[in-house]
Structure formats: C-alpha cells, structure tokens
Amino acid sequence: MKYLDEFRDPVLARHLLDEIDQTVTRPWAIMEVCGGQTHSIIRHGIDQLLPEGVEFIHGPGCPVCVTPLEMIDQALEIAARPEVVFCSFGDMLRVPGSRHDLFQVRARGGDVRVVYSPLDAVRLAEANPEREVVFFAVGFETTAPPNAMAVVLARRLGLRNFSMLVSHVLVPPAMTAILDSPTCRVQGFLAAGHVCTVMGTSEYVPIVERYDVPVVVTGFEPLDILDGVRRVVHQLEDGEARLENAYARAVTAEGNRAAQAVIADVFEVCDRSWRGIGVIPQSGFRLSERYREFDAGIRFGVDGISVEESPLCRAGEVLQGLIKPHQCEAFGTACTPRTPLGATMVSSEGACAAYYHFRRLTIPVEVTSRG
C-alpha cells in the first residue's frame, strides 16, 4: 500500500536500529506523546527491538482517555433526556462515567447516535427541528477545526436546536506539566505529527529552550517512530536539545493557517481538567463568547455534577508515564476492554488497550506500591 509499505520496510528498520544501537552509551527515557504512536510501538514491538536502556514512556496523548470524568457524566445526563439526540464518535460510547456509559444510556432508551463527522450532527439538527441535537466535541488540536466548522455552519443555517459539549485539550501545556512534575523522567519527546499538521511546530520551541529537552516531530509508522528515536538519541548523546521535524511529508513550520483561523474564531483557550491528571492551566478550548449560545453545558445546566472515580483504576499514573499498564493491579483482571475501569483500557488510542490487545497479557502482573 502506497505510503504504508515504504514506512514498514524491515531492511530500513534494521539499519535504523543498528544506528541507534551504535549511538547509545547510556539509558535514556523518551516519551511518545500520542496514543496513536503508543499503539504503533506496541503493535510492532518496537520497544522490544531497541537497545537495552532506551525506554518509551507513554504519554497522555489520547483524547478519549483524558476527557475528564465530570464531562463524561455531563454527557450521560444530557444524553438521557428525552428531547435530546446525542451524537458522538464511537470510541466515546464505552468510556465509563461514575456509574455507567453511553451504551447503557442508549440501552435504557436514550437517543445516542454514532457519527463520523460533526457535520453529520449538524445535518441531523437541520432534519429534526423538533429535537435538541448535541455533539460531544472532544479531542486535541487535530479535531478542533472540523468541530469549529460545525458550529459556524450551524449559525449560517440558523439552527437553534444544535449545540456542543466541548472538551478539547492542547498538547504543549500537557508536555510542560509533565516536565514540571517532580517525578518526571522524560529526557526527550516524540511529538505527535498530526497535531503539528494543524498547529505547526513553533509551539514547541519554547519547550525545547526552557527545559533543554529534544523534541522530534514524527509520524506513526514504524520507520517514523524509529527515525524519531534515532534523532532524539543523537541529540541526547551529543548533549544537545533541538526541535526537529521528522514528518516533513505532512508537517510544515507554520501548520494549516485556515484551520488555525477557524479555531481562533470559534474557540478560546481555557484551563482544562484532564482525567487522572487534574487541571492544567491554559490547556483546553471552550466556545468563545461569540459562539457561547451553542454551549450544551450551559444550555442544559449540567455544571456541578459530583463524580466518583474507581478506586482501583490507575489510569492517571499510566497517562503521566509513572507506571506501565501491566503494572496496575487491575490490568487484565478487574479491568478489560469489556469491563473497563478507565478510558485507557477502552479507547482505540489508550495505552492499556494497546498492552491488552498486542501481547502484553503474557507479561506477569507486577504489583507496585502507590507510595
């Protein structure tokens, strides 16, 4: 397949691995920020091919996983209302709230629908003026432009029955929060290429300069990941810290200016709570004042919901790179993709799901202290 096979070439992969092996002289800890990168690493066994001492730390870059519990519970309450058609991408339906999930709301009679684009939700609102259509807008900078366009289109169409429950998060503030943590072990980053296709690479320059940490923008295929590791390792061994773009076939320094413009028009930056991590200042988008009338949280008055996280779930530690998924006592036993305690086990980009689906059930469960 064009643009896939050439980035999975085993001969080229061997060359990159040999160069990494010949370069490494000491242990290094590298965080891949995106959950898509995590799945590629685990699926292809890249972490097991690297020289001993080069460790991947899995980052918080799964939008489903970091959507805060209070936002999930707000979605559940709105979706259960008889006048509402609640629209979401499919991977949100099994994410557990405090007591149940969207699948269970639908089983009890709620009109919960899977859509493949936020524009599908706008069309539903146009076709059903007697119903309130709500779209669950989650994700990083990658999904913000189409979600913003949906709001713009709804206004142009004069729709009064369309709204969004917005829980967008931003990558650079999360990287900064990780580096500020006293428990941080990250020495270099593989930045998520798809985020940079929208936002460009300039946001990472202050991180490199402030924390003296290498950041390499990469794609998601095995050779993309290995080339990113090769570049980070070279910098670390040479005592350097630079921003490099190893995904030039998709990423430019300035990013997508049209996408950035519609984001700036519809959203504004705000503090945002991340599930399992807590509030990170200036790490999210909410609807700007100009579009606040489309805010489902305000329209349905669901602020102030009390939440209850499972005491067994350690997804927050997984998302911060403090433990590996199989080091959670509940992994593969009380917590499975069919009975998830946290979003990291059920999301298609979740680290726990990657370990569960791609062989890591064979690793003996190591029980660790929470300290």
pLDDT at 55: 95
**What is the mean pLDDT of the segment spanning 14-34?**
96
Going by pLDDT thresholds of 50, 70 and 90, the confidence category of residue 360 is low
pLDDT at 268: 98
Report how far residue 24's alpha carbon sits from residue 351's, in angstroms, rounded to the nearest whole number. Answer: 26
Residue 205: CB atoms within 10 A of its CB come to 13
- Please determine, for residue 205, whether its predicted confidence score (pLDDT) is greater than 60: yes
- Angle, CA of 232, 322 and 168, to the nearest 5°: 80
Q: Is 134 helix (H, G, I), strand (E, B) or coil?
A: strand
Within 8 A by CB and 6+ apart from 182, the residues are none
Residue 298: CB atoms within 10 A of its CB come to 13
Q: Count of residues for the chain? A: 371
Q: 231 is written with which tokens?
A: 């570049």
Going by pLDDT thresholds of 50, 70 and 90, the confidence category of residue 1 is low
Identify the weakest region by mean pLDDT among 174-178, 257-261, 302-306: 302-306
pLDDT at 362: 53
Identify the bridge partners of residue 323 per DSSP, sorted by sequence position: none
Within 8 A by CB and 6+ apart from 305, the residues are 70, 73, 74, 77
Q: 363 is written with which tokens?
A: 């690793």
Are 234 and 22 spatial neighbours (Cβ–Cβ below 8 Å)?
no
What's the Rg (C-alpha) of the chain? 21
Looking at residue 233, what DSSP letter applies?
Answer: H
Looking at residue 7, what DSSP letter applies?
Answer: G
Identify the weakest region by mean pLDDT among 23-37, 201-215, 329-343: 329-343
Question: Alpha helices, DSSP H only, in the chain?
Answer: 10-23, 35-43, 46-49, 63-66, 69-79, 102-107, 118-127, 144-157, 171-180, 193-199, 205-211, 222-238, 257-266, 296-299, 315-319, 343-346, 351-357
Q: How far is CA 299 from CA 52, 134, 319, in A?
A: 54, 10, 32
Within 8 A by CB and 6+ apart from 278, the residues are none
Report how far residue 297's alpha carbon sits from residue 305's, in angstroms, rounded to the nearest whole number. Answer: 11
Report how far residue 118's alpha carbon sits from residue 120's, in angstroms, rounded to the nearest whole number. Answer: 5
Q: 129 is written with which tokens?
A: 């003026």
Report how far residue 324's alpha carbon sits from residue 274's, in angstroms, rounded to the nearest whole number. Answer: 19
- Please determine, for residue 366, whether its predicted confidence score (pLDDT) is greater than 60: no
- Please determine, for residue 263, whether its predicted confidence score (pLDDT) is greater than 90: yes
Express each pLDDT in 290-343 by its tens digit: 999 999 999 999 977 778 788 888 988 888 888 989 889 999 889 998 888 888
- Please determine, for residue 349, whether its predicted confidence score (pLDDT) is greater than 90: no
Q: Is 245 helix (H, G, I), strand (E, B) or coil?
A: strand
Are 217 and 245 spatial neighbours (Cβ–Cβ below 8 Å)?
yes
Which secondary structure element, helix H or strand E, spans residue 309, and what is its range?
none
- Please determine, for residue 369, whether its predicted confidence score (pLDDT) is greater than 50: no
Residue 242: CB atoms within 10 A of its CB come to 16
